[in-house]
Structure formats: structure tokens, C-alpha cells
Amino acid sequence: MSKIHEAFEHGKAFIAFITCGDPDLETTKRVIRSAVDNGADLIELGIPFSDPTAEGVVIQSANYRALSGGVTTDKIFDMVREIRSDVKIPLVFMTYANVIFSYGTEKFIQTCQEINIDGLIVPDLPFEEKEEFMPACKKFGVDLISMIAPTSDERIAMIAREAEGFIYVVSSLGVTGTRENITTNLEEIVKSIRKSSNIPCAIGFGISTPEQAAKMSKISDGVIVGSAIVKLIAKFGVNSPEYVGQFVHEMKQPICSSKC
């Protein structure tokens, strides 16, 4: 059984997304530890891919920088082995189906178990095709995390009933990236999920300010922030861990005020 539930046991969860290897894996390790020290409850580790179709320009650029720097899946696995000596919060990988297929599905997911990765998010994997990975995930105890988007409609109940770990609620149509306003009726989506499952729901895509984090945490069990963190890493490079830590602290406080 994964440890993902632990991220939601002490109140609303703050989930940070980091692209592995941007600008290098040593900086990634320091960013992870800084985020944990400042209140992150779960971290999504992005494995770079050459065609990240769900990502906006910020994370696309981070993927390009990481791949240009020579990052590979095996190097990321080695990095996780190292940080697991002191990083105890749940960790999940976010990557694309082709990365897993190319590595070998069973080998990839077995390695996730060996290095204590708790879950897997595959944004280009339709719910109806999850059997491509589900048997191996079940075999090795890695949660295959489902995503529910504003267009999921009548599929929400079906997805929620079979969800594992937590449900990633996509706040807006389109790709990742910061947004000034999130106008989707997310409260109704979460209510629909609740009718079929008690699994935690975390909202992502577009959250970049403490005010947005506070608003989203009132209707969900947690918030996911990616592009705003990746922007800081792009701006400050090897000096970014300090700035990411400050940002995580600022974002965590309004979430805690909701229920911590």
C-alpha cells in the first residue's frame, strides 16, 4: 500500500511539482528538500519528455533544459534512491506513457516500488486505457492516479469509483500554466466525486498565489502547484531552493488556515 494517504491526514495538502534535472539533478535534490522543510506534503517529480502535451511553455521549457543537460530516467531513479534516505513524505512521478513504454512497463513500475515512489500520474493516459499500466501498478503497490477534468462530465463517477491515492482535479481546460482567474465550477466537480468516492481530491493547473490556494483548498483536500515553482527554478537556477522554500511556505499558510 502506498503512503499517499499520509499527505492528507493532517489537514489540507500542499503538493509541489518539480521537473527533475532542471537545471540539474543536484539542484533538484536541494529544491525537494527545501520544499519539504517548508511544508510540502507530497511532491510530484516530473520525468522529462520531449513532447509533454499537457504542459504549457513554462514546464515544456523545463523539460527541454533537463533533457539538454543529459537527464535520463535511470539518473532520476538514482536521485530518488539518494533522497529517500531523509525525504519521507509521499513522492509520485508524473510522466508520459511513452517514457514508461520505452523503459519497459513492468521494469519501470517495479523500480518505482524499489525506490519508494508511491504513485504515478500519466496525463496522456485515457481512463479507458489504464489497463496498460494497472496490472503492474497493482503488482508492485504503486497507485495509478486518475485525473478528472472539466470535460469529464458523466465519466466522473466511473473514474472516482476506481481511483487510487488521490484524484487530480484539473482546474481549467488547456495546458498547465499560471492563471489570473480560475472560473471552472470546481465545487460541483468535487461534489460529484464525493457521491462516488471518499478519496482525497487535489486541484491543480493554474494555482500560483496564496489567494488562489486558499480558495481551492476550501473546496478540496489539497492544491497542486507546478508552473509557479518551475518559474522560480528557471529564474534563479542553482540558487532556487531558497526561493522555492519561501514560496512553499507562503502558499502553505492559507491552506493551513482552511484546515490544518
Domain ranges of the chain: 4-259
Q: What CATH number labels 4-259?
A: 3.20.20.70
> How far lies 99's CA from each of 56, 66, 67, 134, 182, in Å?
19, 15, 13, 16, 31
Question: β-strands 143-145, 222-225: how paired?
Answer: unpaired
- For residues 69 and 63, give the distance between their C-alpha atoms in angstroms, rounded to a whole number: 10
Q: What are phi and psi for residue 182, nearest 5 degrees?
A: -115, 110
Distance of CA 185 to the CA centre of its chain: 21
d(CA 104, CA 110): 10
What pLDDT does 178 receive?
Answer: 41
Beta bridge partners, 203, equal 169, 223
In the sheet that holds 91-94, the strands lie side by side as 143-145, 119-121, 91-94, 42-46, 13-19, 222-225, 201-204, 167-170, 147-148
**Residue type at 107 in one-letter notation:** K
Q: What is the pLDDT of residue 185?
A: 74
Instruction: List CB contacts of 144: < 8 A, sequence separation 6 or more.
Output: 119, 120, 122, 130, 133, 134, 137, 164, 165
pLDDT of residue 53: 66
Please tell me the distance from the alpha carbon of residue 157 to that of residue 193, in angstroms, as a whole number. Answer: 6
pLDDT score at 150: 77
**Residue closest to 124 by CA, chosen among 177, 62, 196, 47:** 47
Q: What pLDDT is stored for residue 140 in this prediction? A: 97
Write down the pLDDT at residue 51: 79
Mean pLDDT by 10 residues, the chain (260 residues): 90 96 98 98 95 78 95 98 98 96 97 98 92 96 93 83 94 48 71 92 90 92 95 97 98 75
- In this predicted structure, what is the pLDDT of residue 181? 47
Provide the 8-state DSSP code for 15.
Answer: E
Q: What is the pLDDT of residue 2?
A: 81
Predicted TM-score (pTM) of the model is 0.92
Q: Give the per-residue pLDDT at 119.
A: 98
- Read off the C-alpha cell for 75: 539518473
